[in-house]
Amino acid sequence: METPEIVQTQQRLTAAIRFTIPRDQIQTVMGPAIGEVMAAVAQQGIGPDGPVFSRHFRMDPEVFDFEVGVPVRSAVEPVGRVRPSSLPAAKVVRTVYQGPYEGLGAAWGELCEWAQAHDHPTADDLWEYYVAGPETDPNPATFRTELNRPIR
């Protein structure tokens, strides 16, 4: 994990599909959702304008309330499950984790510990950009995920 930093983000328009599902279903829904979002933005000629992301609205050990999407150049017209959304303008604590997706939970824990140790209380939501994944290299050791946690 890279050394965390404090960054001010700008609001970004996105196209996304939102889910409220049991935690163990996340791997089942993400792949099809990404395909659906990518098809919608390509068909409308508005993106993607950045890497795939997932945004979690609240953290619960049993249920994930989150959306999967991509940044876009202009608002997506709703199609199927795809809806317009956005990532907020926010002051965030950010890092980049390199490694397999199974290590993301520990990386988030480490980032939150760093924020707490540096007097940066975090909000309930968070998002991660999948900067490099299996689409660029099948070796999970090369995957890169940018972690963003808003500061209150």
Record the pTM. 0.94
Query: CA 48 to CA 24: how far, in whole Å?
Result: 28
Instruction: With CA atoms as reference, report the closest residue to 69 among 22, 10, 28, 128.
Output: 128
Give tens-digit pLDDT for 101-129: 999 999 999 999 999 999 999 999 999 99
Give the Cα-Cα-Cα angle 138, 143, 145 (nearest 5 degrees).
150
CATH of the domain at 75: 3.20.80.10
Query: CA 66 to CA 71: how far, in whole Å?
Result: 15
Task: Give, for all 152 residues of the chain, the pLDDT tens digit.
Answer: 999 999 999 999 999 999 999 989 988 999 999 999 999 999 999 999 999 999 999 878 899 999 999 999 999 999 999 999 999 999 999 999 999 999 999 999 999 999 999 999 999 999 999 999 888 899 999 999 999 999 99
Q: Which two tokens stand for residue 39?
A: 């098809």
Into how many domains does the chain fold?
A: 1
Query: Whole domain around residue 103: which residue ranges?
Result: 5-150
Q: Which two tokens stand for residue 28?
A: 């089942």
